[in-house]
Protein backbone atom coordinates (compact mmCIF):
# COMPACT_ATOMS: atom_id res chain seq x y z
CA UNK A 1 0.00 0.00 0.00
CA UNK A 2 1.09 3.59 -0.54
CA UNK A 3 -0.47 6.81 0.68
CA UNK A 4 -1.11 10.03 -1.27
CA UNK A 5 -1.84 13.24 0.63
CA UNK A 6 -4.23 15.69 -1.03
CA UNK A 7 -4.10 19.30 0.09
CA UNK A 8 -7.57 20.71 0.79
CA UNK A 9 -8.78 24.12 1.79
CA UNK A 10 -11.54 24.82 4.31
CA UNK A 11 -13.26 27.95 3.10
CA UNK A 12 -15.98 30.06 4.72
CA UNK A 13 -17.99 33.18 4.12
CA UNK A 14 -20.49 35.21 6.08
CA UNK A 15 -24.05 34.86 4.80
CA UNK A 16 -25.54 38.23 3.84
CA UNK A 17 -28.52 38.99 6.10
CA UNK A 18 -31.10 38.43 3.37
CA UNK A 19 -29.19 35.76 1.44
CA UNK A 20 -27.30 36.36 -1.81
CA UNK A 21 -28.60 37.97 -4.94
CA UNK A 22 -30.07 35.15 -7.07
CA UNK A 23 -29.53 35.66 -10.79
CA UNK A 24 -31.67 33.90 -13.41
CA UNK A 25 -30.56 30.64 -14.92
CA UNK A 26 -29.69 30.57 -18.63
CA UNK A 27 -32.61 29.80 -20.96
CA UNK A 28 -33.74 26.15 -20.88
CA UNK A 29 -32.53 25.49 -17.31
CA UNK A 30 -34.55 25.35 -14.09
CA UNK A 31 -33.90 24.71 -10.40
CA UNK A 32 -35.62 21.65 -8.89
CA UNK A 33 -36.19 21.67 -5.10
CA UNK A 34 -35.37 18.63 -2.96
CA UNK A 35 -37.77 15.75 -2.69
CA UNK A 36 -36.86 12.29 -1.41
CA UNK A 37 -37.93 10.74 -4.71
CA UNK A 38 -35.03 12.67 -6.34
CA UNK A 39 -32.29 10.98 -4.30
CA UNK A 40 -31.25 8.67 -7.15
CA UNK A 41 -31.16 11.57 -9.63
CA UNK A 42 -28.91 13.58 -7.30
CA UNK A 43 -26.61 10.55 -7.03
CA UNK A 44 -26.54 10.12 -10.82
CA UNK A 45 -25.70 13.80 -11.47
CA UNK A 46 -23.07 13.67 -8.70
CA UNK A 47 -21.42 10.66 -10.35
CA UNK A 48 -21.43 12.20 -13.85
CA UNK A 49 -20.01 15.47 -12.44
CA UNK A 50 -17.20 13.94 -10.39
CA UNK A 51 -16.25 10.64 -12.09
CA UNK A 52 -13.41 12.08 -14.21
CA UNK A 53 -12.33 14.81 -11.76
CA UNK A 54 -9.63 14.99 -9.08
CA UNK A 55 -12.15 14.56 -6.25
CA UNK A 56 -12.91 11.01 -7.39
CA UNK A 57 -9.25 10.22 -6.50
CA UNK A 58 -9.61 11.92 -3.12
CA UNK A 59 -12.99 10.26 -2.44
CA UNK A 60 -13.17 7.13 -4.63
CA UNK A 61 -16.92 6.73 -3.88
CA UNK A 62 -17.52 9.83 -6.06
CA UNK A 63 -16.30 7.90 -9.10
CA UNK A 64 -18.93 5.13 -8.94
CA UNK A 65 -22.74 5.14 -9.20
CA UNK A 66 -23.16 2.90 -6.13
CA UNK A 67 -20.74 5.05 -4.09
CA UNK A 68 -22.60 8.23 -5.04
CA UNK A 69 -25.94 6.61 -4.15
CA UNK A 70 -24.67 5.57 -0.70
CA UNK A 71 -23.21 9.03 -0.14
CA UNK A 72 -26.51 10.70 -1.08
CA UNK A 73 -28.36 8.37 1.31
CA UNK A 74 -25.92 9.31 4.11
CA UNK A 75 -26.28 13.04 3.41
CA UNK A 76 -30.08 12.90 3.29
CA UNK A 77 -30.16 10.98 6.61
CA UNK A 78 -27.95 13.45 8.52
CA UNK A 79 -29.80 15.29 11.30
CA UNK A 80 -28.81 18.69 9.85
CA UNK A 81 -29.80 17.87 6.27
CA UNK A 82 -31.41 21.01 4.86
CA UNK A 83 -33.84 20.49 2.00
CA UNK A 84 -33.95 24.27 1.31
CA UNK A 85 -30.21 24.15 0.48
CA UNK A 86 -30.45 21.02 -1.69
CA UNK A 87 -31.14 21.51 -5.39
CA UNK A 88 -30.94 19.90 -8.79
CA UNK A 89 -30.65 21.71 -12.11
CA UNK A 90 -32.76 20.42 -15.00
CA UNK A 91 -32.06 21.20 -18.64
CA UNK A 92 -35.22 21.14 -20.77
CA UNK A 93 -34.27 19.84 -24.22
CA UNK A 94 -36.92 19.65 -26.97
CA UNK A 95 -37.98 16.09 -26.21
CA UNK A 96 -36.50 15.21 -22.83
CA UNK A 97 -35.23 16.58 -19.52
CA UNK A 98 -31.57 16.18 -18.63
CA UNK A 99 -30.45 16.68 -15.03
CA UNK A 100 -27.06 18.38 -14.96
CA UNK A 101 -26.37 20.00 -11.57
CA UNK A 102 -26.57 19.09 -7.89
CA UNK A 103 -25.80 20.64 -4.51
CA UNK A 104 -26.72 19.60 -0.98
CA UNK A 105 -26.64 21.48 2.32
CA UNK A 106 -26.20 20.49 5.97
CA UNK A 107 -27.00 22.88 8.82
CA UNK A 108 -25.14 23.10 12.12
CA UNK A 109 -27.41 25.33 14.23
CA UNK A 110 -25.01 25.26 17.22
CA UNK A 111 -22.25 26.93 15.16
CA UNK A 112 -24.84 28.79 13.06
CA UNK A 113 -23.04 27.44 10.01
CA UNK A 114 -24.23 25.72 6.86
CA UNK A 115 -22.01 23.32 5.01
CA UNK A 116 -22.02 22.82 1.24
CA UNK A 117 -21.72 19.23 0.08
CA UNK A 118 -20.58 18.13 -3.37
CA UNK A 119 -21.44 20.93 -5.77
CA UNK A 120 -21.34 19.35 -9.23
CA UNK A 121 -22.22 20.36 -12.80
CA UNK A 122 -21.94 17.71 -15.53
CA UNK A 123 -19.16 18.46 -18.05
CA UNK A 124 -21.34 19.51 -21.02
CA UNK A 125 -23.11 22.22 -19.01
CA UNK A 126 -20.18 24.02 -17.36
CA UNK A 127 -19.03 27.62 -17.89
CA UNK A 128 -22.50 29.21 -18.03
CA UNK A 129 -22.87 30.22 -14.40
CA UNK A 130 -24.82 27.12 -13.28
CA UNK A 131 -22.38 26.30 -10.45
CA UNK A 132 -22.70 29.88 -9.20
CA UNK A 133 -26.54 29.71 -9.39
CA UNK A 134 -26.55 26.49 -7.31
CA UNK A 135 -24.33 28.12 -4.67
CA UNK A 136 -26.72 31.08 -4.52
CA UNK A 137 -29.72 28.76 -4.11
CA UNK A 138 -28.04 26.74 -1.33
CA UNK A 139 -27.00 29.90 0.52
CA UNK A 140 -30.54 31.31 0.25
CA UNK A 141 -31.66 28.11 2.04
CA UNK A 142 -29.07 28.61 4.80
CA UNK A 143 -30.14 32.27 5.18
CA UNK A 144 -33.79 31.16 5.46
CA UNK A 145 -32.74 28.76 8.24
CA UNK A 146 -31.20 31.73 10.09
CA UNK A 147 -27.57 30.60 9.71
CA UNK A 148 -24.77 33.20 9.77
CA UNK A 149 -21.88 31.45 7.98
CA UNK A 150 -21.38 28.91 5.24
CA UNK A 151 -18.38 26.60 4.84
CA UNK A 152 -17.02 23.98 2.48
CA UNK A 153 -13.89 21.99 1.70
CA UNK A 154 -12.23 21.96 -1.70
CA UNK A 155 -9.18 20.15 -3.08
CA UNK A 156 -6.42 22.75 -3.61
CA UNK A 157 -5.64 21.49 -7.15
CA UNK A 158 -9.31 21.86 -8.19
CA UNK A 159 -8.53 25.28 -9.63
CA UNK A 160 -11.88 26.05 -11.28
CA UNK A 161 -13.78 25.24 -8.07
CA UNK A 162 -11.36 27.26 -5.89
CA UNK A 163 -11.70 30.21 -8.31
CA UNK A 164 -15.49 29.95 -8.26
CA UNK A 165 -15.62 29.95 -4.45
CA UNK A 166 -13.14 32.87 -4.15
CA UNK A 167 -15.07 34.92 -6.70
CA UNK A 168 -18.23 34.21 -4.72
CA UNK A 169 -16.70 35.55 -1.48
CA UNK A 170 -15.38 32.42 0.27
CA UNK A 171 -12.03 32.81 2.03
CA UNK A 172 -9.54 30.12 3.04
CA UNK A 173 -9.57 29.56 6.81
CA UNK A 174 -7.53 26.36 7.10
CA UNK A 175 -5.42 23.95 5.05
CA UNK A 176 -5.88 20.24 5.74
CA UNK A 177 -4.43 17.09 4.19
CA UNK A 178 -6.54 14.07 3.25
CA UNK A 179 -4.63 10.78 3.22
CA UNK A 180 -5.76 8.30 0.57
CA UNK A 181 -4.44 4.72 0.56
CA UNK A 182 -4.02 2.82 -2.67
CA UNK A 183 -2.56 -0.57 -3.55
CA UNK A 184 0.50 -0.88 -5.84
CA UNK A 185 -0.60 -2.43 -9.14
C1 LIG B 1 -16.59 23.47 -10.14
C2 LIG B 1 -17.87 23.38 -10.99
C3 LIG B 1 -19.03 23.05 -10.06
C4 LIG B 1 -18.11 24.73 -11.65
O5 LIG B 1 -19.37 24.67 -12.34
P6 LIG B 1 -19.74 25.72 -13.52
O7 LIG B 1 -21.16 25.62 -13.79
O8 LIG B 1 -18.80 25.56 -14.64
O9 LIG B 1 -19.44 27.10 -12.74
P10 LIG B 1 -19.68 28.58 -13.33
O11 LIG B 1 -20.16 28.50 -14.73
O12 LIG B 1 -20.49 29.32 -12.34
O13 LIG B 1 -18.20 29.16 -13.29
C14 LIG B 1 -17.18 28.50 -14.07
C15 LIG B 1 -16.54 29.44 -15.08
O16 LIG B 1 -17.49 29.86 -16.06
C17 LIG B 1 -17.45 31.28 -16.16
N18 LIG B 1 -18.81 31.74 -16.51
C19 LIG B 1 -19.86 31.85 -15.67
N20 LIG B 1 -20.93 32.30 -16.33
C21 LIG B 1 -20.55 32.44 -17.62
C22 LIG B 1 -21.20 32.83 -18.80
N23 LIG B 1 -22.49 33.19 -18.79
N24 LIG B 1 -20.50 32.85 -19.95
C25 LIG B 1 -19.20 32.49 -19.97
N26 LIG B 1 -18.52 32.07 -18.87
C27 LIG B 1 -19.19 32.06 -17.73
C28 LIG B 1 -17.01 31.74 -14.80
O29 LIG B 1 -16.45 33.04 -14.86
C30 LIG B 1 -15.98 30.70 -14.50
O31 LIG B 1 -14.75 30.99 -15.13
P32 LIG B 1 -13.32 30.56 -14.52
O33 LIG B 1 -13.38 29.07 -14.25
O34 LIG B 1 -12.35 30.92 -15.58
O35 LIG B 1 -13.14 31.31 -13.26
C36 LIG B 1 -17.73 22.31 -12.10
O37 LIG B 1 -16.55 22.55 -12.83
C38 LIG B 1 -17.72 20.88 -11.58
O39 LIG B 1 -18.76 20.27 -11.37
N40 LIG B 1 -16.52 20.29 -11.38
C41 LIG B 1 -16.40 18.90 -10.98
C42 LIG B 1 -16.95 18.65 -9.58
C43 LIG B 1 -16.21 19.51 -8.58
O44 LIG B 1 -14.99 19.49 -8.52
N45 LIG B 1 -16.98 20.22 -7.72
C46 LIG B 1 -16.43 21.08 -6.68
C47 LIG B 1 -16.25 20.26 -5.46
S48 LIG B 1 -15.59 21.24 -4.13
Protein residue closest via CA to atom 40 of ligand 1: 120
The predicted-structure confidence for 76-94, as pLDDT tens digits, reads as follows 999 999 999 999 999 999 9
Through-space distance between the first and last CA atoms of the chain, rounded to whole angstroms: 9
Regarding the beta carbon of 121 and ligand 1, being less than 6 Å apart is answered: yes
pTM (2 d.p.) = 0.96
Protein residue closest via CA to atom 15 of ligand 1: 127
Number of domains in the chain: 1
The predicted-structure confidence for 156-166, as pLDDT tens digits, reads as follows 999 999 999 99
Q: Specify whether the CB–CB gap between 58 and 178 falls below 8 A.
A: yes
Q: Specify whether the CB–CB gap between 116 and 141 falls below 8 A.
A: no
DSSP H helical ranges for the chain: 39-50, 55-58, 65-77, 130-144, 159-168
Domain CATH number, residue 147: 3.40.630.30
Give the range of the structural domain holding residue 163, as residue numbers without chain letter.
Answer: 2-182
C-alpha 76: how far from its chain's center? 13
Amino acid sequence: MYVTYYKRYRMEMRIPLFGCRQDRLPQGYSLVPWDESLLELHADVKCRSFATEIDSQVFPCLGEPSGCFRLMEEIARKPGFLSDSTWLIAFHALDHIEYCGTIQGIADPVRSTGSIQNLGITPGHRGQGLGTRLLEAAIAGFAKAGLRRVGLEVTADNYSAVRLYQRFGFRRIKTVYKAVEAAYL
